[in-house]
Amino acid sequence: MSSQINFIAKNRKSFKTSRNILFSFKFALSGLVYCFNNTRNFRVQILFAFLIILCSFIFGCNLNEFRIIISTIFSVLSLELINTAIESIVDLKVKQNFNKLAKISKDCSAASVFLASINSVFVAAFIFLPKIRLLLFS
Strand residue runs (E) in the chain: none
Does the reported pTM lie above 0.85?
no
Fold of 39-137: Helix Hairpins (1.10.287)
Q: Buried (b) or exposed (e) across 68-82, using 16+ Cβ within 10 A? A: bbeebbebbbebbbe
CB 102 within 8 A of CB 90: yes
Dihedral, CA of residue 54, residue 126, residue 43 and residue 46, to nearest 10: 40
The model's pLDDT over 86-114, given as tens digits with 9 standing for 90+, comes to 999 999 999 888 899 999 999 999 999 99
The model's pLDDT over 70-91, given as tens digits with 9 standing for 90+, comes to 999 999 999 999 999 999 999 9
Q: Which residues are catalytic?
A: 80
Q: Where are the domains of the chain?
A: 1-38, 39-137
